[in-house]
Structure formats: structure tokens, C-alpha cells
Chain A
């Protein structure tokens, strides 16, 4: 089985984000970018499936600016076998919308015929949480979202999902799309030999036109603002006072 893992280049989770002066979005100039952390978990899971013998090949895909090549090299250094880069934008500030990404991925799936697509549940830049679901719809495949555990059993996968009430385990028919959550695994460090090998692994460069997909935006961002600054706290003198205040505000 082949596993396809889409990975997105996003602003590093450690960076303190700044909104651009014109409110059109977050300032990405000279900012550290990294692989979306949920995608890193997806890459890790794919590599573990390969190590367990449940998968033969792991292919990483990124759709975005040319610099996403670095993100793919990271996936290759972690242990992915090859990579596909779809250069869909020149400007680092242009985000490719989930539907366009899903359409390109659907075309790649038709070409590559993976048995499983493992993707992050959402990208931490815009928190869309849509690509995996859209891809499942476009392909007519089964989907298991927010996975905290994935087990492959013949032509089925058992997926444990993190839902509001707790954990739900579902059985999905393969091929399937699984979107992964934070607690699925802890991604490994890239080993030094794999870092050195990453450059030698194949990385194909494509364009949206190769897949006949139009990536022009359908959504427009009206305004981006910084979250409201946290208000100063209040010191209380005793536990009783604390409980009284909490009751007063209807918290307990």
C-alpha cells in the first residue's frame, strides 16, 4: 500500500504572529516557517505504517509556494520516500484555498493510487479543517477525522476519533482519508543520515495546470485583527472569596 501525506508550509508555531498594517492578513515576511504540526504527525504515522510493514511507500505532497520544497525535504528527512511539489503561488502571502488543494490532491490520488491519505486535521495558520473532508467528498472515499489511533486491518481501517464526548472508534473501508489529531503520536526527529539522504530522494515539481485545477481565490479576507489583549487578573484574598467571585460570574 502507498500512503499519500499532504503537508503544508505554515508560520512556525513558536513565532509571535503580527497582523499586517493593512489588516489583510498575517505578516509572513522574514518569519520562520515550518511544517504544519498536524501534518508532521501524519508523516510520522505514515512512516510508522511503513516500518510495521503495513505500507510500502510514503509520498509527501505540498501545494503552495516554491519554498514549500523545504517542508517536503523535512518530510523526506523524517523518512518519506519521495515528494511532489505543486507550485501554485509566487507570493508567500497567497493561501491556496482548501477546495483548490483538495481538487489538486484528488488528481494526484488518481495518478498515484494510494491506499490511504493521511492528513493533518487542520493547518495552524487558518484553522480551516476542511481539506481532508473535501478530498473525501471529491473522491467518494470513506473518511475518519480527528484520529488519535489508526489501525489497518486488511481492507478496513479502525480509526479512533477524538470527539467532544470522548473517544469514538469507527471502521472505515479502504481506500480512505484519515485526518490526524494531536495525540496520535509524537513525531520523531529527523536522523542525521536521513537528513543527508533527503536531498537524493526524488522531488517532482508540478503546477496546478498539470492537474487542470484553477487555484484563483473564491474567498476574500475582509479583515484580520489581533486578539484582544488579555485583561489584567485580580488577586483574591482567600478561597472563599474566590468561590464567591466565581459564583457571582456564573462560572460555577
Chain B
């Protein structure tokens, strides 16, 4: 067993960290204030990342990516987690589900996404179907050789900047012993397709500037060539590719927690009350001790899950454990950091209140904490027939 990073991994970590510190941090306050990323800034970040060869580094070399292992990529995500998500979005990690592209889809979607020419967004959630993905109401129905889509998706991240969308809709129902079960198909939908609209979404407390949108499909006609994977095979592509995405949430949480923690330690060491640094009060010092312990634990859970993916070992349970623990850890660390800062922690003069707000969504998206616990428990009890 070996816990150290290789020289390459150390360099990946230090390069991404330095990039985030110099190219992202200086713009964060402005993005937070305006709730938007200026187009030139987005383009500038993207160009720099492309030049550095980090754009789409999660993709294999044969399609133009960097061919990073899951572990290497998790380290990249962890460092990116320090920075504003609205800005690191342009560090460009297209959905790895695009590897399911076949034939001419590769030229139209996969390769331009990897080159940074076209950005993607992924749409599963609907107003009436969140955790219960299979409960989705959006449908695609055969009409001649085409498909006709109807329905609404909401909370779709990155939609503002996306050139095309990876959309899951119901294409039929099977009667099973557990009752009716929807068949799901995944489609690639270009922005501007008639009958398809991208509308502004809601204002979220988390990740200002990283907007979510509402997508509407009204008699939106798509040819067969837009099906990603197999017809009715939506759950297969989802299961093949989306578990690894969940791990990026865990990695984000660890990176963000480290940044927050450094502020807490510095502040506790400097802030004096009752004639001494507040770090001398055990009530403060022990909170700091607990924080670093939890961050390390989440870090190792996350890296170990990534390692399992690289080794081809079953990892779904471990990924869920990492996502669950890391995001709940982040909630505690941001809250404690705010508490240590006293009243100033709440003020937007410091980034602490923002970290605290940002942390909230991490326990909800990519599967809520309850859904992660459900997955973990299911893996434990299913083999026992319970």
C-alpha cells in the first residue's frame, strides 16, 4: 500500500492549484457580486486551459483528451473545488457520457466538446421527477422515422453556455412485477432546434454565476441520429457513465473544504479576544482539530473510490460513501469556519459566507444525501435478500 502521489500527480496538483489561485481567485468577488461571468473572461480562461492541455483532460487520448486516470482526474477536480464554480466551469470537463457517441455523432458532439468548441449540459431532472429519475414525464414518441419530444426539464446547470444538451426522456413503459416501469432514452439536442427552448431558471443561494436553466420541449422533432446509445437504453448509458461524475462532487467538497479550513486556522491564530488568540481556547482549537480530521477522512475516501474505478473494481458504493461524507463534511467545515470568524464570517467582505452558501447544494445535486444512503444500504442488503 502506498499513499504518496507520484511526481506527475504532484505537478498536476500544483499546476491546477496555481492556475486556480492566479486565474480564478482574482475574479471571484466580481462574479459573486454580479452573478454573471463576462464572456471575454470565460473565453480567456478556456483558451488558457486549452493551451495548457488540461481542457477535457478526463477524456482518453484517442479522442484528443489527456487520458488521465480517475485518480489523476479526481486530483484535478479537487484543486478546482477551491475556486468559484461559475469560473472553473470554463476549465472544461465535458460530460464523459459523450464517449457513448457513435459514428457521425463523434464529429458533431464528442470531438468538438473535447476541443472546447462546443459546450454541453446534461438534463435529467424535471419539476415532478428529481430523485425519482424514472418518474420523468418528458416523452419522445415515434413519428415516421423521427422522434417527437414533449416535456420540461429544470435545474439544468451550464445550460446558459451550452451549445448542445444530453437529454433523458421516457420512450415507453414496461409492465413489471413491481408495476409499470418507464423506458428511458438519451438524446443529443442542439441549441436552436425548433420546439426546444432554454429559459432562465431560478436564483440559487449556492454558486452565484453558475446558473441553472429550464428546458422546454414542445413538439420538438429529432431524427434517429440524435439518439445517444440505444433506444430505451438510457439507464445503461446513465449507469455506465454517471457514477464517476458523482465522485467529482466529493472531490470538489474536499478541495473547497481545504481552502476554507486554511482561513479558519489563520483567523483563529490571529484573532485575539480576552487577551489571547482565540486558538488558545480549547472550544475553538478542538473544532479546528475535528475539521482537519474530517477533511482528511473525506479526502482518502474520495481518492480510494477513484483508485477502485482505475482498478476496475466495483465502486458504486464507495463513490456514494465519498459523495455523502465529503459533502456533509463540507457543510460542517464551512459552518464551523464561519463560526470561528464570528460576526465577520457572515459579511460578504470575506469569502466565508459564500463558501457556507455554496456548500448547501452539494448535499442535493447528483443524488441527495438520502439517495446516497439509499444506494449504500441497497448494496449492503440486496445480497442478503432484505
A interface majority secondary structure: helix
A189 to B12, CA, bound (A): 10
B52 pairs with A189, CB closer than 8 A: yes
Most B CB contacts (10 A, CB to CB) among A77, A193, A195, A199 go to: A195
Size of B's binding interface in residues, CB under 8 A: 16
Q: B5-38 toward A: CB 8 Å interface, digit per residue (1/0)?
A: 0011011101100110000000000000000000
Q: How far is the CA of A198 from the CA of B10 in the complex (A)?
A: 12
A192 interface hit (Cβ, 8 Å): yes
Asked if A192 and B7 make an inter-chain contact with CB atoms under 8 angstroms apart, the answer reads no
Q: How far is the CA of A195 from the CA of B18 in the complex (A)?
A: 14
**Chain B minimum-CB-distance residue to A72:** B7
Residue of B nearest to A190 (CB): B15
A70 to B68, CA, bound (A): 20
Which residue of A34, A70, A191, A194 contacts B7 across the interface (Cβ within 8 Å)?
Answer: A70
Beta-carbon contact of A192 and B10 below 8 Å:
no
On chain A, the residues within 8 Å of B1 by CB distance are: none
> Nearest chain-B residue to A187 (Cβ)?
B18
Q: How far is the CB of A161 from chain B (nearest CB, A)?
A: 27
A9 sits at the interface (CB 8 A): no
Is B135 positioned at the interface, with any CB of A under 8 Å from its CB? no
Asked whether, in the complex, the Cβ of B66 is within 8 Å of the Cβ of A192, the reply is yes
Cβ of A143 to closest chain B Cβ, rounded Å: 31
Q: Are A199 and B54 in contact (CB under 8 A)?
A: no
> Which residues of the other chain, A, contact B7 by a CB distance below 8 angstroms?
69-70, 73, 198-199
Number of interface residues of A (CB under 8 A): 16
Q: Does B51 sit at the interface, judged by CB under 8 A?
A: yes
A74 within 8 A of B: yes
Contact indicator A198/B52 (Cβ below 8 Å): no
Proximity string of chain B (348-373) to chain A, C-beta cutoff 8 Å, 1 when within and 0 when not? 00000000000000000000000000
Please name all residues of chain B whose beta carbon is closer than 8 Å to the beta carbon of A189 when the two chains form the complex: 15, 18-19, 52
Query: How many Å from the CB of B44 to the closest CB on chain A?
Result: 14
Instruction: Chain A residues near B12: list those with CB within 8 A.
Output: 192, 195
Q: Determine whether B211 belongs to the interface, using a CB cutoff of 8 Å to chain A.
A: no
Asked if B57 is an interface residue, CB under 8 A from chain A, the answer is: yes
The answer to whether B53 has its CB under 8 Å from any CB of chain A is: yes
Q: Is the CB of A195 within 8 A of B11?
A: yes
- Residue of B with least CB distance to A69: B7
Interface contact A73-B11, CB-CB below 8 Å: yes
Q: Measured between alpha carbons, how far is A190 from B15 in the docked complex, in Å?
A: 6
CA separation between A61 and B11, bound complex, in Å?
18
A232 to B68, CA, bound (A): 50
Give Cα A55–Cα B257 distance, bound, in whole angstroms: 45
Residues B18 and A192 in contact, CB atoms below 8 Å apart: no
Cβ contact within 8 Å between B52 and A77: no
Known: A191-B52, A193-B53. A198 touches B18 (CB 8 A): no
A196 within 8 Å of B by Cβ? yes
Complexed CA–CA distance, A70 and B9 (Å): 11
- Nearest-CB residue, chain A, relative to B67: A196
A198 touches B11 (CB 8 A): yes
**Which A residues lie within 8 Å of B10 (CB)?**
70
What is the distance, in angstroms, from B279's C-beta to the closest C-beta of chain A? 14
Among residues of A, the one whose C-beta sits closest to the C-beta of B66 is: A192
Give min CB distance, B57 to chain A, whole Å: 6
Q: Are A199 and B18 in contact (CB under 8 A)?
A: no
Given A70-B7, A73-B7, A198-B7, do A193 and B15 touch, yes or no (CB 8 Å)? no
A195 → chain B, closest Cβ, in Å?
5
Cβ–Cβ contact A74 & B52, under 8 A: no
Out of B15, B19, B51, which one reaches A195, CB within 8 Å? B15
Q: How far is the CB of A244 from chain B (nearest CB, A)?
A: 30
Are B19 and A196 neighbours in the complex by a CB distance under 8 Å?
no
Q: Is B57's CB under 8 angstroms from A192's CB?
A: yes
Considering the chains assembled together, what is the distance between the CA atoms of A191 and B164 in angstroms?
28
B68: chain A residues at CB < 8 Å are 192
Q: What distance in Å separates the Cβ of A201 from its nearest Cβ neighbour in chain B? A: 12
A199–B6 CA distance with the chains assembled, in angstroms: 10
Interchain CA distance A34-B17 in the complex, whole Å: 14
> Which residue of B is nearest A196, CB measured?
B8
Tell me, rounded to whole Å, the shortest Cβ–Cβ distance linking A246 to chain B: 28
Minimum Cβ distance to chain B for residue A203 (Å): 10
Q: Give the residue name and chain of the A residue nearest to B6 (CB).
A: A199
Q: Contacts A70-B7, A189-B52, A191-B51 hold; do A196 and B15 have CB atoms under 8 A apart? A: no
Q: Which of B29-66 contact A (CB under 8 A)?
A: 51-54, 57, 66
Digit string of A121-141 for contact with B (CB within 8 Å is 1, else 0)? 000000000000000000000
Smallest CB-CB separation from B23: which chain A residue? A189
When distances are taken between beta carbons in the complex, the residues of chain B under 8 Å from A196 are: 8, 66
Within 8 A of A (CB), among B49-105: 51-54, 57, 66, 68
Q: Which residues of A contact B66 (CB under 8 A)?
A: 192-193, 196
Most interface-central of A74, A189, A192, A198 (chain B CB within 10 A)? A192
- Ordered by A's residue number, 8 sampled pairs between the chains whose C-beta atoms are within 8 Å are A69-B7, A70-B10, A189-B15, A191-B51, A191-B52, A191-B54, A192-B52, A195-B11
Known: A74-B14, A189-B52. 20 other contacts (CB 8 A): A34-B14, A69-B7, A70-B10, A73-B7, A189-B15, A189-B18, A189-B19, A190-B15, A191-B51, A191-B53, A192-B54, A192-B66, A193-B53, A193-B66, A195-B8, A195-B12, A195-B15, A196-B66, A198-B8, A199-B7
